[in-house]
Amino acid sequence: MTRPMAALPFLVCGLPKSGTTFLQRTLNLHPEISCPSEQSFDALASIIEQMLAHYAGVLETMDRRTGGQGASQYGATIRDEILRSTIGTLSKSFARGRPIHGLNDNSIFTAIERFDNLLGHPRIVAIVRNPVDVGLSEWRHNKRLAREEPRMARAHFPAIDDPSLTVERYLEKRLPSYLRKVDAFLAFADGRGNVMVVRYEQLVANKAFELGRMLDFLGAGHTADMIAGMVAGSSRKAMASASRVPAFFGLDADDPDRATVSREFRRAMLDASMSPRMKHIGYDVASLMVGH
């Protein structure tokens, strides 16, 4: 039975390098679900603001030319109404007829209350990853972008020319900000039936089970064969082979930007990051040390 297309999308979010691309691409493999590549709601909001400012100027000019009755005015809520409508329209357009459509935007994670209210409390799937591996992935990703986009090097990695910046120091500097953002999101999500939090490590270790939970949450039908196909299609090798930028997936054993830390440093960082809310969603240091 075909479901009616919802007016507004479900949302996928997480901090950068937490596995949002992995999650988005995996969900997009389901025949009923559309979840295209990453969006930028902040850019949309900025464009709408500029458009309205320009239009206000046009109205002032038209009013002056037609006798000065007073230019039409609009309330502040018009920006949110246009943004909400634009997000819904884009999501339905990208879906190409798939009945369950969603959008992925990392910036939602740190502005979750705003977008939860804006879109009328949609289903939200958020992914969280332990901060050490987030930091290592972020280090590699930003250094690669700095090499490949030299004009934007300092935007990607502001301290790229600082010889004192080791990967360990980078992780230490990033940890407090990471924990504040994750704890704030988890505090918001606690007890909300429209929010599902997925741990990256669990999704990797037991993808079929986690996919079943997510598909049930999104209201998508599934069979064992369907999930098996999604599991196979969302391996790093499969995603890299289907990508125009395979280097993004970090499969090159000789990757010049890859970094590691000692076992002792990893444990110390994980110990420092085990906030009550991280523990509440199932994180513990011992499991994150396996294989290291």
Say if CB 222 and CB 215 are below 8 A apart: yes
pLDDT of residue 33: 97
pLDDT digits (tens, 9 = 90+) for 5-49: 446 799 999 999 999 999 999 999 999 999 999 999 999 999 999
Alpha-carbon gap, residue 233 to 272, rounded angstroms: 36
pLDDT of residue 7: 61
- 4 token code pair: 């009616």
Alpha-carbon gap, residue 196 to 30, rounded angstroms: 18
| Ordered domains of the chain (ranges, CATH) | 10-285 (3.40.50.300)
User: How confident is residue 252, by pLDDT bands cut at 50, 70 and 90?
Assistant: confident
In a 10 Å sphere around its CB, with 0-12 CB exposed, 13-18 middle and 19+ buried, how is residue 18 labelled?
buried
Short-list 240, 243, 238, 286, CA closest to 263: 286
Short-list 94, 73, 264, 261, CA closest to 166: 261
pLDDT digits (tens, 9 = 90+) for 235-244: 999 999 988 8
Say if CB 230 and CB 30 are below 8 A apart: yes
pLDDT of residue 71: 87
Work out the average pLDDT over 199-224: 97
125: helix, strand or coil:
strand
Element (H, E) at 105: none
* Angle, CA 256 vertex, CA 249 and CA 285 arms, to 5°: 65
pLDDT digits (tens, 9 = 90+) for 46-56: 999 999 999 99
Short-list 253, 12, 260, CA closest to 135: 260
- 19 token code pair: 């596995």
